[in-house]
Amino acid sequence: MANDEVKEEDEIEDDTTIDDSEPIYYKPRTLSMISAISSWLSWIVLALIALIVIAQIQYILGIATQNSTTLVAMLTDPQQGEQARLFVYSNMLLPLISGISFFFLLQAASVGLNALLEIEFNIREPKK
**What confidence score (pLDDT) does residue 19 get?**
56
Q: What's the rounded mean pLDDT across residues 25-36?
A: 86
What count of other Cβ atoms lies within 10 Å of the Cβ of residue 42?
Answer: 20
Exposed, middle or buried: residue 106 (CB in 10 Å: 0-12, 13-18, 19+)?
buried
5 within domain boundaries: no
d(C-alpha 69, C-alpha 60), whole Å:
11
Has residue 52 been placed in a domain? yes
Task: Give 37-96 pLDDT, tens digit per residue.
Answer: 999 999 999 999 999 999 999 998 888 888 888 888 888 888 878 888 888 888 889 999
Q: What is the structure's pLDDT at 117? A: 87
- Please give the full DSSP string across 8-33, using - where no structure is assigned: HHHHHHHHTPPPTTS-SS--HHHHHH
Rounded to whole angstroms, the Cα distance separating 32 from 62 reads 45
- The residue type of 22 is E
What total number of domains does the chain contain? 1
Range of the domain at 100: 28-120
The answer as to whether 13 is a domain residue is: no
Give the global pTM. 0.69
Decide if 14 is inside a domain. Answer: no
